[in-house]
Structure 1
């Protein structure tokens, strides 16, 4: 299974902010980050192809500018995922919580507990 937010064949998903990173990068299976998902790369000019805007230039100026905090969050969650194979390949046990959502995933010797407590 491959999960993604955006691709060159779909509209760009720019809603959700940091939660988008969490939902994608903590999803089971393989994940794909389309260039600019982490920095909210804007839709570009389309010309004659309405989807051409999904292939706009990377917004490098925003990576260290206005999107730096978002890029850092994506990096942190990506590094966590890379260190813990249970995130993508583990067997999930969903937790019964009064508030929020949580799960445990286990794969070999790797075990992670993830809890979303709700809005801050």
Structure 2
């Protein structure tokens, strides 16, 4: 029984590598895209919530309206567990704010805790 020449072995290895890349590249690309989307959503919510902490007249602020629209739209588009968790924390921030125009110290501490929870999420 013959094991073949080095050229045949290299060719076989190259074919196996090509098939592996063809099988797993779409999965890798989708996973990477999801990770980027989750990171972006997380940063938007954190940045906007931090801006809202210092504001008065929150209900009329652009940041509040943007966060409300972002959370409602992104919740419909959520496709994985990490995204859903991130958006639920954003929704929890909106619930803490409620109809307040000025945040109390208790509300600020609750929002800061939710922001910390967002920062702890690994995407």
Shorter chain as denominator, the TM-score bin is 0.3 to 0.5
**Bigger relative contact order, structure 1 or 2 (CA pairs below 8 A, ≥6 apart):** 2
Taking structure 2 as the reference length, the TM-score comes to: 0.33
The structure with more radius of gyration: 2
Report which of the two has the higher share of strand: 1
Taking structure 1 as the reference length, the TM-score comes to: 0.34
Report which of the two has the higher share of helix: 2
